[in-house]
Amino acid sequence: MSPIIKRKGERFTLPSKYLLFILTVLCTVMMLVTFGTDVFNRPLNVVVGYVIVPFQQGIEKVGGWLSNRSEELVQIRTLLDENAELKAEVAALIEENTLLQQDKYELNKLRELFELDGQYAEYNKVGARIIGRDSGNWYSSFLIDKGEDDGLEVDMNVIAQGGLVGRITSVGPSWARVTSIISDNVHVSAMTLSTEDNMTVTGDLRLMAEGCITFSQLVDGQDSVREGDKVVTSNISDKYLPNILIGYISSISKDANNLTKSGEIVPAVDFEHLGEVLIITDRKQSVVE
Amino acid sequence: MLRKIIVTVCIILCFVLQCSVFDSLSFAGIIPNLMIVLTSSFGFMRGEREGLIIGFFCGLLSDVFFGSFLGFYAMLLMYIGFLNGKFCKIFYPEDIKLPLALIVVSDLSYGIICYILTFMLRSRFEFAYYFLHIILPEALYTIVVTLFLYPAILKVNEKLENHERKRAQKFV
């Protein structure tokens, strides 16, 4: 008798191998469909936005709160050991001091962001907080706490600390995914600021630990590009706005074909310690107009 | 019904932990793979069917948030859950060696398949480098986390099975 025929008085259950087959077909269809289009992305992004993102935001807040508390505790403890007789007074002072330090820290951060703002003044920007990192170890992307409701769209550029971080690759109602330029599958069209020679900047997993990215296809006939030269996004890129700082050339060498050069770039952004980012809400197309 | 709710909560909890808390607990930029631990353990504790369904949803979550197209991780984790379910018959809750071995093998094969399909096909051929710097550390870290996470999952499953047994007896 076939295993999928329902017997009397028994609840119908699909045998697991049939289920596996059906889901495999479903996955394959989804892969084929979403490879070219983004039909499913919209509803799924909305659903997970309501189910998962609130948890992530909560954990982020709790984590921040806990690390603040633990910092406070450590500071108070060391001072108690040093000044046992001034215990009460010192504790109160330290409390105050910590709060002030936190304020100062925030002030510095805001000042930095403000300066950055001056540099790219012609673009409209919104700030966002990072609430989650890639769940695997192969690529580098992260989630931010703003989405469609805040006017974000796919392909908007993301900057921080004066340099390019990446671009938005997926967006939900209250969250967005930013794929960073150090991710292994990302290519950015770039140019040197001094000579305006075009090149392709590519993330590399092997260099990610050192915090470097590679560049290639640099045509430099006059040998005028040097180590330490500034690299910015090029004006021929169709996703990235022109003249955003990517980093500085740290090594350069001639390719085997004797025509092009390649090497490594140290990014301007410290990708290990990113907390807040700025999203440029202007997109390349609208700038061209 | 209760089982479905609890398992859903487990999946969401593991996913959120993996991409927020474990990011700050990472060693040399490597984070453990909690989704594999969850999928495999439900696979060998409950059988092929539950393993493959849980794997599918775990993978789908990763796909929606971090995949460039849907279905890749879902399919990978689904097969891992299904294959782990094959070991349901020789699984005993008291024995921790089989679960550990299964989770290591699952995580290693997950890493290797990820490498082949998403890196080797883009002509990144230095397998030794990726194996030693990404796949192996991830498997080791996952094992360390498994030592804490697996007993918790086992306990949750035990509680659920007791609950279901009691309900079944009520009907008799």
Reported as a single tens digit per residue, the pLDDT across B24-34 is 777 777 889 99
Contact status, residue A284 vs residue A240, Cβ threshold 8 Å: yes
Q: CATH 2.40.10.340 region(s) of chain A?
A: 126-289
Element (H, E) at A9: none
What is the tens place of the pLDDT at every residue in A268-283? Answer: 888 888 888 889 888 8
The parent domain of residue B144 ranges over 2-171
| Average pLDDT value for chain B | 89
Q: Which tokens sit at A45? A: 């992004």
Contact status, residue A176 vs residue A147, Cβ threshold 8 Å: yes
What is the tens place of the pLDDT at every residue in A252-265? Answer: 998 888 889 999 99
For residues B90-99, give the mean pLDDT.
88
Q: What is the pLDDT of residue B69?
A: 81
Cβ–Cβ gap B82/A16 under 8 Å: yes
Write down the residue that tokens 């399909």 correspond to: B117
Q: Which residue of B has its CA nearest to A170?
A: B65
Report CA B46 to chain centroid distance, whole Å.
13
Please work out, in degrees rounded to the nearest 5, the angle formed at the alpha carbon of residue B16 by the alpha carbons of B14 and B21: 95
CATH of the domain at B9: 1.10.1760
pLDDT tier, B113 (very low <50, low <70, confident <90, very high otherwise): very high
Cβ–Cβ gap A30/B71 under 8 Å: yes
Length reported for chain B:
172
What is the tens place of the pLDDT at every residue in A31-51? Answer: 888 887 777 777 888 887 787
Of B29, B66, B134, the CB nearest to A135: B66
Phi, psi (5° rounding) for residue A216?
-150, 175
> Which residues are bridge partners to B27 per DSSP?
B30
Q: Which chain B positions have a beta carbon within 8 Å of A31's beta carbon?
A: 69-72, 75
Q: 3-state DSSP helix/strand/coil percent for chain A, to nearest 5?
A: 40, 25, 35
Q: Which tokens sit at B31? A: 């984070």
Is this prediction's ipTM beyond 0.90?
no
Q: Which chain A positions have a beta carbon within 8 Å of B21's beta carbon?
A: 59, 63
Q: What CATH number was assigned to the domain covering residues A126-289? A: 2.40.10.340
Percent of chain B with pLDDT over 70: 99
pTM of the entire structure? 0.75
Domain count, chain B: 1
| C-alpha span between A177 and A170 (Å, rounded) | 5
Q: What is the pLDDT of residue A288?
A: 46
Cβ–Cβ gap A56/B70 under 8 Å: no
What is the tens place of the pLDDT at every residue in B30-49? Answer: 889 999 999 999 999 998 99
